[in-house]
Chain A
Amino acid sequence: MLEVLRGVVAWFQDPANWRGEEGLVNRLVEHLLLTGTATLFAVLVGLPLAIWLGHIGKGGLLAVNVSNIGRAVPTFAVLLLLSVGPVGTDDLGPYGRAGLATLIALVLFALPPIITNAYVGMREVDADTVQAARGMGMRGGQLLRSVELPLALPLIVTGVRLAVVQVWATATIAALVAGPGLGRIITLGFRRQDVAEVVAGALVVAVFALLLEGLMVLAQRLLDPVARARRTSGPTSSSGEAGGPPTGATADEESARQPAEA
């Protein structure tokens, strides 16, 4: 164990491991680019769709089930299907080898959390509040902008946060199909039977995953004036509507649910 740790430190100290196409810097840039691009695409496609479906109150079955499907399909399989299929493994500019196949797979796996959370967020907006806004003469667009969206924002942002984490993880798997990203350092280590390299690559992947998650949680806090207001004015009816399955991992949902017990 100690030997591995020493090997890992030595790996990071060797400048040769940082430079070049196979180097840490290039792989990290690839990985961040892939994550950013895929999340952006998924947000541009998924958010308007989910918000619109939530606004008109249709397509709930699709919006909720898309998450279940996303969970059941292995990312490895999708990446491989795309790369042996028509998309191929050609280089795509800064995205590296099999860049297009990887990007498509990343967007596909970023969509479910974005769509499900945004949809559930829109549907969970208190019906009485919407009714009151209507009574005050608000029409579709105005209702959406100044009532529904602000109230749904926490869950919308949660969806984006889960998507970023998902995309980061999927981009790591791309290395299994000889694709781009930080996972390549891990797979290269396996091929060379160099445990120190495997662990070093994994450490970078894991630390950045936690860092991204932390940043997103922070962004969520800053973006969420409604939850703060809600916390100070006591719990509103956020439970009920058990339509959606637990979409996993959100501290905010947790804290929002706790008052129900008291």
Chain B
Amino acid sequence: MVRNEWICGEFLSSRSEQLTDAVAQHVWITVVSVLIGLVVALPLALLARRFARLEWLIIGTTTALYTVPSLALFALLLPLTGLTPTTVITGLVLYSLTILVRNIVEGLNAVPADVVEAARGMGYGAGRLLFTVELPLAIPSVMAGLRIATVSTVALTTVGAIVNYGGLGNMLLEAVNTQFRPQVLTASVLCVLLAVTFDLVIVGAQRVMTPWSRGRAA
């Protein structure tokens, strides 16, 4: 039976535990995916910056992966990783790479040449230059990429429902059969709220990490 109401208080109270579990799963899948994505993207970005030929290969491959629809990507990973969270996380990591690698490379390339020159003149080696000068200056671009990657990862996680690890997507998939509107609306709204919350947290983190930009903005 198709109910007409979109909001149902009883549903919220009686299924609150299931909702909390779904949100928790959604959060950890998103966080793990984006963090792994960041850890993988950094060396890829450094390689891409160092070797022009690799840049073409790395950016090209990650862009091609990005055009593969999520349902198909999870399905293609199925024989390798089965009905596990690994399938979803691997897919989400691959998607996040497209944005993260590009933004890290862009951020590093945008570091003013005279700043790099000055650091070299002060005797900075390559490693120290990267971690204390170039990466901090690339933070705005990296964080912009992180915001996009995280927000789209929250949305894409729902498709993980196809292998039973879709967080709130599991509740959406369940509602396909029951056609229970309050469940659809609640899960959808929670998804968007989750994306907005993550976005705000990253913006906050960026403000803390780049104290020099605060004075300029104010």
- Name A residues whose Cβ lies closer than 8 Å to a Cβ of B: 1, 4, 68, 71-78, 80-81, 84-85, 165, 168-170, 172-173, 175-178, 183, 186-187, 189-190, 195, 198-199, 201-203, 205-206, 209-210, 212-213, 245-246, 248-249, 251, 254, 257-258, 260-261
User: In the complex, A210→B64 CA distance in Å?
Assistant: 7
Given A246-B148, A249-B98; A187-B162 close (CB under 8 Å): yes
Q: A76-B159, A206-B76 are in contact. List 14 more A-B contacts (CB 8 A).
A: A73-B192, A74-B158, A77-B184, A84-B2, A168-B69, A172-B71, A199-B79, A201-B72, A203-B76, A205-B69, A210-B68, A246-B106, A248-B66, A260-B110
Chain A positions within 8 Å of B180 at CB level: 84
User: In the complex, A246→B195 CA distance in Å?
Assistant: 18
Q: Can you give 12 contacting A-B residue pairs, CB < 8 Å?
A: A71-B195, A72-B155, A77-B158, A80-B176, A84-B175, A165-B66, A176-B161, A201-B75, A202-B71, A209-B67, A246-B103, A249-B98
Does B210 touch A at the CB level, under 8 Å?
A: no
A248 contacts B75, C-beta separation under 8 Å: no
A84 contacts B184, C-beta separation under 8 Å: yes
- Which of B63, B155, B162 is in CB contact (< 8 Å) with A74? B155
- Which of A4, A195, A205 is in CB contact (< 8 Å) with B71? A205
**In the complex, per-residue mask of B25-67: 1 if CB is within 8 Å of any chain A CB, else 0:** 0000000000000000000000000000000000110011011
B63 contacts A173, C-beta separation under 8 Å: no
B69 contacts A249, C-beta separation under 8 Å: no
**In the complex, per-residue mask of B170-197: 1 if CB is within 8 Å of any chain A CB, else 0:** 0011011001110011011001100110
Does B154 touch A at the CB level, under 8 Å?
A: yes
Closest to B173 in A: A176
Chain B positions within 8 Å of A4 at CB level: 79
A202 contacts B70, C-beta separation under 8 Å: no
- Which of B102, B106, B188 is in CB contact (< 8 Å) with A77? B188
A77 contacts B191, C-beta separation under 8 Å: yes
B72 contacts A80, C-beta separation under 8 Å: no
Closest to A198 in B: B75
- Which of B59, B66, B175 is in CB contact (< 8 Å) with A254? B59
A245 contacts B144, C-beta separation under 8 Å: yes
Label chain B's interface by main secondary structure: helix
Does B78 touch A at the CB level, under 8 Å?
A: yes
Chain B positions within 8 Å of A168 at CB level: 67, 69
**In the complex, per-residue mask of B132-146: 1 if CB is within 8 Å of any chain A CB, else 0:** 000000000000110
Closest to A258 in B: B109
- Which of B72, B179, B192 is in CB contact (< 8 Å) with A84? B179
A72 contacts B196, C-beta separation under 8 Å: yes
Closest to B60 in A: A251
Given A195-B79, A201-B75; A68-B151 close (CB under 8 Å): yes
Closest to B63 in A: A249
Chain A positions within 8 Å of B103 at CB level: 246
User: In the complex, A176→B179 CA distance in Å?
Assistant: 13
Closest to A179 in B: B176
Given A68-B151, A84-B181, A246-B102; A172-B79 close (CB under 8 Å): no
B195 contacts A186, C-beta separation under 8 Å: no
A249 contacts B66, C-beta separation under 8 Å: yes
